[in-house]
Structure 1
Amino acid sequence: MKLIDIEMVEPGQNLGKTIFSANGTVLLSEGVQLTVFMISTLKRLGVTMVYIDDPLYRDIPDEEVLSEETKRMVIKQMSESFDALRSGKEFNTKAISKSVDQMLDDVLQNQNVLVQLSDIRTEDNKMYIHAMNVCMMATLVGVNMGLNMIQLKELAIGALLHDIGKLGATEKDEGRHHHAWRGFELLKMKREYSLLSAHVAFQHHECVDGTGQPRGIGGDEIHLYAKIVAVANIYDNLLTDLSEGRPILPHEALERLHAMSGTALDHQVLVEFMRIVSVYPNGISVRLSSNRTGIVVGQHRGLPGRPIVRVIDKEGDEAVGAVEIDLAQHTTLFIDAVLS
């Protein structure tokens, strides 16, 4: 599959990756032939990039930390929980806990897979996909930092529900009205959850230099779980930042995280985070320093910035040959630009 701008999608092309609705059901299935109506609907829903099935890249490994079944479960449970809270009801803590257990199973089974946040977001599902991504990335960092299973469960629950206080809050609210404080007040009442999970919601907008919200605490006053979630939260938010007219790409987001090291973000946590994320995800188009263009088709766990790139030689519109360039082996070559 190949990642392209929604504006470049043409009717008749096949979708390369399933798109979920806000309640966890399938909006469009992988392999469906896209029509003018479908493309227009995706644009209306706020989709900016999609994966397209391309015969030249069908063998690209679709490596995911979370299974499709787990993603459906998590999105469904998050949707139902937030709907319950909007209606003034209690959310199902046991169902959320079950979803977290399934996520932990997937993370532990696939802990050597580099994170590639490839799920397509719409205006309806983006809140739930964000929560799922932050939870998954935070848990992977926790595994790398040697947390035990009890700690991982505490971290994962806090990460999944870190934005629960946003319901009824605004971006301008501060102090006890800030969504982090509101989330803490809600979660600390849930006896099924550790108080440390509630502190993830409470502290994930605090900065290590003491300039954050809602209390302006810093350094060791911020719990490790919250420091981990802070990095994952900012990274995922950067990937959906449209302030520059397009989504921020992973390598750009990682550069911005680097700039926050020691001020907004904990340096050691950031080092561990860099080890779990794919800088150039599979399916993305790149231009090499040799001026050849290609598609990223493979990753190296220890060298996330040196992927494998497939370059297709063409005569006119016809492919006449392909070569895979492993940047871990070709040390004088580098990625000059991302084209997707």
Structure 2
Amino acid sequence: MKKLSVSELKPGMRFTKPVYLDKENLFITSNTPVTDSDLDRLNKFGIQEVMTAGELLLLNSISSDPDVLETSIDDIIVNTVVEEELQPLKTIYDNLNRIKVTFGNLFRESTQLIQEVFKKTLEEKPLEVNPVREIAEKLSDFVRANHNISYLILSNNPSGYYLYNQITNATLYSLVLGKLLEYSRPKMIDLGISCLLADIGMCKVPPTISEKGEQLNEEEFKTIMKHTILGYQILSQRMKLKNNLAIVALQHHERYDGNGYPQKLSNNAIEEQARIYSIADNFSALVTNRPHRKKILPHEAIKSMISMDVGKFDLKLVRTLLNHLSLYPVGSCVELSDKRIGVVLGPNPDKPIRPCIRIIKDEYGEMVRNLILVDLLRETNLFISRPVDLQEITA
């Protein structure tokens, strides 16, 4: 490792490898910008040198290191000084920025695992639950330890097969709901396992149907519907998964009003873990591009779930999740009445239409280089004029 003088560090600097205070104590993770508060902390404790095995990343560069996330809207920030009353919001932002590399690595591990399980299923190879359990433990512990991770989920724009990405997103949202329901760690891990494997039956659906770029006909939809029974059989017979975990694959398309499939169960006859995954899977699907339709904005997905699709779900669970996500979900993108564009950083639970915003574009459409935070409860002269697509405005 090489040593770096603290006096040479500047806000916004990022490195390809983690930076350490000494051989054992981590300072910042790879690809995480140095902030003013980081430098204040070093100076406060009289630390004059840090060390890293990495290299300085240039602004807007993209690293080839697989352990480093690609450059994002957070990486162009060079000044993180904010007003005193906004320090709680800055703490939220700093924490999310600090864990984003861990999140990215976990996301890739999860999608790779799902792909591997699907491949082994198709090739009739032995299926083991231990690798799934290991990922479920990591995801569960990450969700339990961190808040507002919808910010990371919605700002993530992963490559690869949409279904693997959607399953991972749905698993994360399911775990968020499990956390809100105060699930124990073992129960959270079980929820993670069942959600990661819930759509395993889809690997048995012909690609000509699952990848069809238009509306399915009746026969094709009947084929899709079989994935629930096929998935349950795979998990219970081949993987020897416990029934309370395999049941999510069977029941996650049941509807609370009894109009789902394959058994037309209703209300609490549907296991709670399946009801949770159904809600998370639906929200994730709505905000993800699919072969036969384009995604909708998170705000529109929320409105759909509390209006048109209300009969599908356990309303108590929907309200629990949506109260956490808010009407403008954390991580979604909005335009303010002064034409600035920002990302929702945190909700104001009592005022769902007035969340806390992190500005990413000024009124002239230029990306901002300073950390600008807005609490709409305080800024009463401002309001959200419309939701916008984060990927489109940062493309």
TM-score (normalised: structure 2): 0.65
The answer on whether the counterparts of 2:76 and 2:369 sit within 8 Å (CA) in structure 1 is no
- Give the distance between the partners of 2:145 and 2:308, measured in 1 at CA: 31
- Give the distance between the partners of 2:369 and 2:113, measured in 1 at CA: 48
261, 264, 275: which is aligned to 2:312? 264
- Shift of residue 332, structure 1, vs aligned partner: 5.6
1:113: which partner in 2?
A: 148
- Shift of residue 104, structure 1, vs aligned partner: 1.1
2:70: which partner in 1?
A: 30
The answer on whether the counterparts of 1:261 and 1:267 sit within 8 Å (CA) in structure 2 is no
140, 157, 180: which is aligned to 1:104? 140
Tell me if 1:217 matches 2:252.
no
The CA RMSD measured in Å over matched residues stands at 3.7
2:357: which partner in 1?
A: 308
For residue 311 of structure 2, give the secondary structure of its aligned residue in structure 1.
Answer: coil
The answer on whether the counterparts of 1:166 and 1:179 sit within 8 Å (CA) in structure 2 is yes
- Give the distance between the partners of 2:175 and 2:360, measured in 1 at CA: 35
- Shift of residue 191, structure 1, vs aligned partner: 6.3
173, 179, 198: which is aligned to 1:143? 179
2:25: which partner in 1?
A: none
- Give the distance between the partners of 1:329 and 1:158, measured in 2 at CA: 42
163, 167, 181: which is aligned to 2:199? 163
The answer on whether the counterparts of 2:136 and 2:192 sit within 8 Å (CA) in structure 1 is yes
Q: How does 1:183-194 map to 2 (within 5 A)?
A: 183-189=231-237, 193-194=241-242
- Give the distance between the partners of 1:257 and 1:316, measured in 2 at CA: 32
The answer on whether the counterparts of 2:339 and 2:362 sit within 8 Å (CA) in structure 1 is no
The answer on whether the counterparts of 1:141 and 1:272 sit within 8 Å (CA) in structure 2 is yes
Tell me if 1:231 matches 2:279.
yes
2:345: which partner in 1?
A: 298
1:333: which partner in 2?
A: 382
- Give the distance between the partners of 2:365 and 2:247, measured in 1 at CA: 59
Cα pair distance change 1:26/1:115, threshold 3 Å: same
- Shift of residue 69, structure 1, vs aligned partner: 2.9
148, 152, 164: which is aligned to 1:128? 164
Count of residue correspondences: 301
Higher Cα Rg, which structure: 2
- Shift of residue 324, structure 1, vs aligned partner: 4.0
Name the % identity.
22
The answer on whether the counterparts of 2:127 and 2:238 sit within 8 Å (CA) in structure 1 is no
- Shift of residue 300, structure 1, vs aligned partner: 3.4
Tell me if 1:206 matches 2:254.
yes
Q: How does 1:1-16 map to 2 (within 5 A)?
A: 14=60
Cα pair distance change 1:258/1:320, threshold 3 Å: closer
- Give the distance between the partners of 2:319 and 2:131, measured in 1 at CA: 33
Higher helix share: 2
Aligned partner letter, 1:153: I
Cα pair distance change 1:91/1:142, threshold 3 Å: same
Gaps of 5+ in 1: 2-11, 20-24, 32-50
The answer on whether the counterparts of 1:174 and 1:214 sit within 8 Å (CA) in structure 2 is no
Once the two structures are superposed, residues 108-141 of structure 1 have per-residue CA deviations (whole angstroms, 9 ceiling, x without a partner) of 111x32413232133x332222111111111111
Aligned partner letter, 2:347: H
- Shift of residue 233, structure 1, vs aligned partner: 0.3
Aligned partner letter, 1:217: L
1:255: which partner in 2?
A: 303
- Shift of residue 14, structure 1, vs aligned partner: 3.2
- Give the distance between the partners of 1:196 and 1:89, measured in 2 at CA: 23
Worse-superposed segment, 252-261 or 202-211: 252-261
58, 67, 71: which is aligned to 2:103? 67
Tell me if 1:240 matches 2:261.
no
Worse-superposed segment, 235-244 or 221-230: 235-244
- Shift of residue 53, structure 1, vs aligned partner: 6.2
Cα pair distance change 1:84/1:71, threshold 3 Å: same
- Shift of residue 91, structure 1, vs aligned partner: 2.7
- Give the distance between the partners of 1:190 and 1:301, measured in 2 at CA: 47
- Give the distance between the partners of 2:260 and 2:364, measured in 1 at CA: 55
For residue 259 of structure 1, give the secondary structure of its aligned residue in structure 2.
Answer: coil
The answer on whether the counterparts of 1:97 and 1:157 sit within 8 Å (CA) in structure 2 is yes
Cα pair distance change 1:315/1:99, threshold 3 Å: closer
- Shift of residue 148, structure 1, vs aligned partner: 2.5
- Shift of residue 159, structure 1, vs aligned partner: 0.8
